[in-house]
Structure 1
Amino acid sequence: MSSASPFRRSAPEFPSTSGVQRLQSLAVGSARFAGFWSAVVLPFAMLALVVSGSVAEQAPLFVGLLLANVVALRLGHGHRQE
């Protein structure tokens, strides 16, 4: 007869290092992809505000878009560089 409890687990199983690295690579690649394409699209939204003449009325929005564009540029800088 065995004295092992069915409720007791052995040592916890952690994901393999290659699995963690793969997940990290996927997350970094996705962030770079999103950053790159956001940096491409955001200037068009800012241009629309400038052309419509509503920059003075919606200055916080324009500044927010500008800051988001800077962050997107930094985040997407390494996208598809090999």
Structure 2
Amino acid sequence: MSNASPTGGESLRKSLGFGLATVRATIVPTVRFVGFWTAVVLPFVYLPLLFTGLDGATTYAFVALLVAHVVSLLLGREYGR
């Protein structure tokens, strides 16, 4: 006969009183919120780049902002549902 002792992670989770479901319930809405509002604000950031012209480093900054905008659109698409 052997008694199964809880693993370190399992005992830690029991002592803290939360698990993956609690973390997911907290993190997912936060990521969606940040993604949505970032997608709303980013066009106001990269529009001045278009008005001043794209040359050299400005082009790379514009492309990076566009990529960040697409990522934020994907992350925030379920916000408010």
TM-score bracket relative to the smaller structure: 0.7 to 0.9
* Equivalent-residue separation in structure 2 for 1:56 and 1:77 (angstroms): 32
Which residue number in structure 2 is paired with residue 65 of structure 1? 65
Which residue number in structure 2 is paired with residue 7 of structure 1? none
Count of equivalent residues? 70
Q: CA deviation at 1:14?
A: 4.4
Higher CA-based Rg = 1
> Higher helix proportion, which one?
2
| RMSD between superposed Cα atoms in Å | 1.8
* Equivalent-residue separation in structure 2 for 1:79 and 1:15 (angstroms): 29
Which residue number in structure 1 is paired with residue 18 of structure 2? 19
Structure 1 residue matching 2:70: 3-state secondary structure: helix
Aligned-residue sequence identity (percent) comes to 37
Q: Could you list the runs of 5+ residues in structure 1 that have no partner in the other structure?
A: 1-9
TM-score, normalised by the number of residues in structure 1: 0.74
Q: Are 1:56 and 2:55 counterparts?
A: yes
TM-score, normalised by the number of residues in structure 2: 0.75
Q: Could you list the runs of 5+ residues in structure 2 that have no partner in the other structure?
A: none
Which residue number in structure 2 is paired with residue 4 of structure 1? none
1:13-55 CA-partner distances (Å, limit 9, x unpaired): 1425x832121111111111110011011111110111222x2
Q: After the TM superposition, list the runs of 4 or more consecutive aligned residues in structure 1 that deviate by more than 4 angstroms.
A: none
